[in-house]
Structure formats: structure tokens, C-alpha cells
């Protein structure tokens, strides 16, 4: 009986390790100045949003050219390097007015280094951001492609299948996703998308239907939607440590240990509705069910 249990357990572990959590990249070890070559393409790459951009071919910020997805050592969450992303929106040349539906689609599509990274939809995707004070506020949304890949985490997850938005509850001007508000400046932020918990909205492709199909796919894109589309920028954002992490029941702050810090987050958020990390059972409200999950798991991982 015990042996059968152990076999079942090891089978389960081997299945889950096929797409185990991972650090997709910390942007270390790449040549400084590489543009549009590591994880995310240049802002101008996607035809979905290039219309909205003042996007020259190159990245030369001192000379006013903002088309950057460059390896930089100006800021770093880990090590000495991160990815510096910079773009500028433009006025609609027909009306001389800002586009009310402006956004930037920053995609991993078949890029030379770390293309279409494979992820499990059962994990969280975590991104670190540093936003300089001059960058206007924006919304960040995660786009995943339903490729059903068998690749290991961070490997090439492919480019077939539809794309769903994770973490957007609405859209601006019809198609610009409104995800997590990013309005804190001059500090490293941790932005976490708990894929199974977040609202899902359809973007594009055959299986894009507002519901996650399958359990694996590719991290296809990040969407940057301006809070005020009339604010053309420039927008500068540093990205570091793009990773997936396991969902550990009761670990609200994702530090690997369920303790009184997690308990306090549930208590402070008690009664609140909508997307909230303290809603550990993902039912849209922070209540005693979440409290019980934290208490039952108290001490785990500590
Ligand atoms: Ca780094
Ligand atoms: Ca779908
Ligand atoms: Ca914790
Ligand atoms: Ca709940």
C-alpha cells in the first residue's frame, strides 16, 4: 500500500516537474546594448500597436529616438543588468489628436534569445519593474498564448494557438487592455499575475475566447496601456527577473513561508472584493475561507 502510494507520488512529481517553476531570465550575461534580442522585441515589432507609436528603427534616447528593448546596466533588481524598454506614442496624423485606444504590445514572438517562453497556467508569473519618475502611469497586462506546449519552463513554447489577456477587467478605446495599475516610481516593484485567479479576456487567435484552454502555453506579451492616452510620453520601464512561481496555499506574499505576515494581509483585506492577493481561494472575495486556508497551512515552508 505504502509502495503504491510512493509510486503515485513520484509519478505526480515527475508530471509537475515537466513545467516546474523557473526563472525565465534575469537579463544577466547578455551584451549591453542588445536591442530587441532578449525575451522582448522592440516596441515597433508588433503590427497590432505600431500605429500608435512614434517608433524609429533605432534606440537612441539622447537623440530622441525611443524604440528600445535594450540590455542595460542603468538599473538592476538582480545582478547588474535589466531590460530597458522605452517608447513614445504619437498623435493620429489624420486628426492631430492622441489615439484614445493607444497601447504597446511588447512581444516575445520568435525573438533570437528566449523566444515564446513556456509557462504553466497553474503557476504565477512574476515580473520586476522599475519606473522612473518621468514615466506616466500605465496599466500592465500579461498575454499568454494557448500552445499546449510540452517544453520545459522557459523553453520555446511555440507560436500556435490563441492569445488571452490575464489580469485585465476592461479595455480602453475598445482594444487596449486595462490591467494592473502601475503608478509607483523610482523603486523596484513586484508585479504578480496569478494566472488561475485573474480575469481572462480574449485578444486574438482561434482559441481566444476569454477562457484558458489547456494548462500550458507561452508567455506571449506584456501590454502597456497609458492611463491617460493624451500623455504621449516618453515611457521608460526597466524589467528584471521574469519568472514563474508555484502557487503555495496561504502564502499571500509569495515569500515561500506561510506566517503571520500572510495572516495580516488577509485580515487587512477582509471583506474586500475583486482581484486581491489575499483572496487565496480565488472566489473574488476575501473572507473566512481564505483565513482558514492560511491557518491550515500556517508554518508551511518557514
Ligand atoms: Ca538582472
Ligand atoms: Ca481560450
Ligand atoms: Ca508568506
Ligand atoms: Ca476568497
DSSP 179-214: -EEE---SSEEEEEEETTTS-EEEEESTT-SSS--S
DSSP helix/strand/coil, 141: strand
Expressed in angstroms and rounded, the spacing between residue 294 Cα and the centre of ligand 3 is: 9
Say how many Å lie between the CA of residue 14 and the centre of ligand 1. Answer: 30
| CATH of residue 286 | 1.10.1330.10
Ligand in nearest proximity to the CA of 203: 2
CA atoms lying within 13 Å on the CB side of residue 33: 2
| Ligand closest in space to the Cα of 293 | 4
From the CA of 252, which ligand is nearest? 3
For residue 280, which ligand has an atom nearest its CA?
Answer: 4
| 148 and 267 together in one domain | no
Per-residue pLDDT, 3: 52
Q: What is the Å distance from ligand 3's center to 186 Cα?
A: 25
- Ligand (nearest to CA of 286): 4
Residue 1 lies in a domain: no
Considering the domain architecture, whether residues 183 and 300 belong to the same structural domain is answered as no
Is 6 within a domain? no
Ligand number, closest to the Cα atom of 209: 2
Query: In which domain, by residue range, is 273 found?
Result: 249-302
Residues 106 and 241 in one domain: yes
Are residue 169 and residue 278 in the same domain, yes or no? no
* Ligand with smallest separation from the Cα of 271: 4
Residue range 184-195: mean pLDDT, rounded: 97
| pLDDT value at 189 more than 60 | yes
- Cα 278 to Cα 225: distance, rounded to the nearest angstrom: 25
Distance 272 CA to ligand 2 centre (A): 28
The C-alpha atoms of residue 77 and residue 24 are separated, in whole angstroms, by 14
The domain that contains 31 carries what CATH number?
Answer: 2.60.120.260
Indicate the range of 185-189, 225-229, 245-249, 285-289 predicted with least confidence. Answer: 245-249
* Residue given cell 493607444 in the structure block: 102
Q: Would you state the pLDDT for residue 174?
A: 76
Q: In the predicted model, what is the mean pLDDT of residues 35-64?
A: 96
More confident residue, 31 or 12: 31
Residue 87 CB contacts under 8 Å (≥ 6 apart), including other chains? 43, 53, 55, 66, 67, 68, 104, 224, 233, 234, 235
Residue 7 included in any domain: no
What pLDDT band is residue 154 in, cutting at 50, 70 and 90? Answer: very high
| Centroid of ligand 1 to alpha carbon of 24 (angstroms) | 11
Grade residue 19 by pLDDT with cuts at 50, 70 and 90.
Answer: confident
Q: Give which of 95, 15, 26, 10 is closest to 239, Cα–Cα.
A: 26
Model pLDDT for residues 60-70, shown as the tens digit of each residue? 999 999 999 99
- Residue 275: burial class (beta carbons within 10 Å; 0-12, 13-18, 19+): middle
Determine the distance separating the centroid of ligand 4 and the alpha carbon of 168, expressed in angstroms: 19
Indicate if the pLDDT at residue 8 is higher than 90: no
Binned at pLDDT 50, 70 and 90, residue 132 comes out as very high
Between 277 and 218, the higher pLDDT residue: 218
This prediction's pTM: 0.91
Residues 103 and 153 in one domain: yes
Same domain (yes/no): 229, 263: no
Whether 239 and 269 map to the same domain: the answer is no
Same domain, yes or no: 261 and 185: no
Give the model's pLDDT for residue 148. 97
Distance CA 213, CA 231 (A): 36
Lowest mean pLDDT among 42-46, 78-82, 92-96, 196-200: 196-200
Q: How confident is the model at residue 4 (pLDDT cuts 50, 70, 90)?
A: low
| Residue 92 shares a structural domain with residue 235 | yes
User: In angstroms, what is the span from residue 291 Cα to ligand 4's centroid?
Assistant: 9
Average confidence score pLDDT of the chain: 93
Which ligand is closest to the CA of 243, given by its number? 1
Comparison of pLDDT for 169 and 292, the residue scoring more: 292
User: 287 CA distance to ligand 4 centroid (A)?
Assistant: 6
Q: Are residues 230 and 260 in the same domain?
A: no
Range 270-283 average pLDDT: 92
Cα(179) to centroid(ligand 4), Å:
20
The alpha carbon of 197 and the centre of ligand 3 are apart by a number of angstroms equal to 18
Q: How far is the CA of 31 from the centre of ligand 2 (A)?
A: 37
Residue 208 located in a structural domain: yes
Last residue of a domain, one of 205, 223, 245: 245
Alpha-carbon gap, residue 23 to 219, rounded angstroms: 13
* Same domain flag for 194 and 175: yes
In total, how many domains does the chain have? 2
pLDDT digits (tens, 9 = 90+) for 241-271: 999 999 999 999 999 999 999 999 999 999 9
pLDDT at 227: 98
pLDDT-derived band at 44, boundaries 50, 70, 90: very high
**Residue 296 shares a structural domain with residue 166:** no
Alpha-carbon gap, residue 254 to 49, rounded angstroms: 33
pLDDT number for residue 10: 47
Q: How far is the CA of 199 from the centre of ligand 2 (A)?
A: 12
Residue 3 lies in a domain: no
The percent helix, strand, coil of the chain (3-state, each to 5) is 15, 35, 50
Amino acid at each position: 500500500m505504502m509502495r503504491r502510494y510512493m509510486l503515485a507520488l513520484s509519478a505526480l512529481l515527475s508530471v509537475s516537474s515537466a513545467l516546474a517553476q523557473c526563472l525565465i531570465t534575469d537579463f544577466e550575461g547578455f551584451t549591453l546594448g542588445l536591442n530587441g534580442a532578449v525575451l522582448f522585441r522592440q516596441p515597433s515589432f508588433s503590427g497590432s500597436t505600431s500605429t500608435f507609436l512614434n517608433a524609429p528603427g533605432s534606440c537612441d534616447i539622447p537623440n530622441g529616438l525611443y524604440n528600445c528593448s535594450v540590455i542595460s546596466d542603468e538599473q538592476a533588481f538582480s545582478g547588474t543588468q535589466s531590460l530597458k524598454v522605452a517608447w513614445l506614442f504619437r498623435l493620429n496624423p489624420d486628426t492631430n489628436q492622441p489615439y484614445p485606444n493607444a497601447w504597446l504590445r511588447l512581444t516575445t514572438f520568435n525573438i533570437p534569445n528566449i523566444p515564446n517562453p513556456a509557462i504553466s497556467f497553474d503557476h504565477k508569473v512574476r515580473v520586476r519593474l522599475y519606473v522612473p519618475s518621468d514615466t506616466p502611469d500605465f496599466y500592465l497586462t500579461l498575454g499568454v498564448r494557448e500552445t499546449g506546449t510540452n517544453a520545459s519552463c522557459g523553453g520555446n513554447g511555440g507560436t500556435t494557438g490563441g492569445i488571452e489577456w490575464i489580469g485585465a477587467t476592461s479595455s480602453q478605446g475598445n482594444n487596449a487592455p486595462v490591467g494592473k495599475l502601475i503608478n509607483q516610481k523610482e523603486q523596484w516593484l513586484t508585479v504578480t499575475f496569478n494566472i488561475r485567479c485573474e480575469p481572462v479576456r480574449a485578444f486574438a487567435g482561434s482559441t481566444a475566447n476569454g477562457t484558458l484552454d489547456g494548462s500550458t502555453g507561452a508567455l506571449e506579451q506584456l501590454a502597456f496601456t497609458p492611463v491617460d492616452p493624451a500623455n504621449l510620453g516618453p515611457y521608460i520601464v526597466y524589467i528584471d527577473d521574469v519568472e514563474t512561481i508555484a502557487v503555495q496555499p496561504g502564502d499571500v506574499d509569495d515569500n515561500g513561508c506561510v506566517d503571520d505576515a500572510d495572516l495580516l494581509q488577509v485580515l487587512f483585506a477582509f471583506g474586500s472584493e475583486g482581484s486581491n492577493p489575499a483572496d487565496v481561494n480565488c472566489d473574488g472575495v476575501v473572507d473566512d475561507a481564505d483565513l482558514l486556508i492560511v491557518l491550515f497551512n500556517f508554518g508551511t515552508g518557514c
